[in-house]
Amino acid sequence: MNTARDTHEAVRERYAAAARDQLETGGSCCGPTATDPITVGLYEGTDSPSDTALAASLGCGNPTALADLSPGEDVLDLGSGGGLDVLLSARRVGPIGTATGLDMTDEMLELARRNQAEAGVTNARFVRGTIEEIPLDDASVDVVISNCVINLSPDKASVARECHRVLRTGGRFAVSDIVLLREIPDALRGIVGLWTGCVSGALLDTDYIATLTEAGFADASVKVTRTFDRAELELMSDMVDGQLPEGWSLEDVMDSLQGAFASAFIRARKGDA
């Protein structure tokens, strides 16, 4: 991928295809599977308001369980996909709070609205847009959440600035995401499957904190929530199928990725101006 537009289109097509499968079949073909160690087992013990939204979840964490949402708060979910985290947030903030899902993929928005209707959730809405240019007013939400989406953006500094802009003073940034624990070779950065699979576009944990701080956030922190062993990496080998860099073997890719990335929960807050 050579441009930000290429990245957006690759991500859009991957998630549009997942949503189309769900819309057409109603099955769990695009949801967490035993061959996807990043997404599997994230909502165990959670009383989901929508089984189809749960089946369509493609995240790397459960931000609603960690964001300490309170009744009456207004929540924004970046890259809301099938809507699971929006529906869970709407239930937590109660009827006087709101939950807004933002997604750039029409098929995902259609799926999310269908799941919302089936769940009977009335204090939620889904809007179209990109996370680099959030179509909400300044200081309009109390909490920004996201589930394994910011790593997909080609312009994470813009995402951080936009999150800071839409949050009210004292508002919270509370997202699940993939972070790098050390640098990976440049040759792996251009593999489309690793980008759309949430790996090669990720920031170093220290760079994530720096990006949030530069955007104006205070108290930024990264807490690793899940690491991946060699057997789990091998389950992800289809991400690079047919896309190996010249001179690389699949074993070389696995060696480079082992211990290099993790799921994490990232927090920050918008302090006084």
What are 15-57's pLDDT values in tens digits? Answer: 666 666 766 765 443 344 444 555 555 555 555 555 555 454 5
Of the listed ranges 104-108, 163-167, 212-216, 264-268, the one predicted with least confidence: 104-108
pLDDT score for 173: 97
Domain ranges of the chain: 4-270
Secondary structure of the chain as H, E, C letters: CCCHHHHHHHHHHHHHHHHHHHHHHCCCCCCCCCCCCCCCCCCCCCCCCCHHHHHCCCCCCCHHHHCCCCCCCEEEEECCCCCHHHHHHHHHHCCCCEEEEEECCHHHHHHHHHHHHHHCCCCEEEEECECCECCCCCCCEEEEEEECCHHHCCCHHHHHHHHHHHEEEEEEEEEEEEEECCCCCHHHHCCHHHHHCCCCCCEEHHHHHHHHHHCCEEEEEEEEEEECCHHHHHHCHHHHCCCCCCCCCHHHHHHHHCCCEEEEEEEEEECCC
Give dist(CA 182, CA 30) in Å, integer.
30
pLDDT score for 167: 98
pLDDT in tens, 126-161: 999 999 999 999 999 999 999 989 998 989 999 999
Give dist(CA 244, CA 93) in Å, integer.
46
Evaluate whether the domain defined by 4-270 bears CATH number 1.10.1300.10: no
Report the sign of the C-alpha dihedral through residues 114, 115, 121, 125, in that order: negative
Which amino acid makes up residue 60?
C
pLDDT score for 18: 67
* Listed residue (131, 109, 94) closest to 23, CA to CA: 109
Mean pLDDT (whole number) for 85-113: 94
Look at strands 98-103 and 124-128 and give their pairing: parallel
- The CA angle 96-102-106, to the nearest 5 degrees, is 125
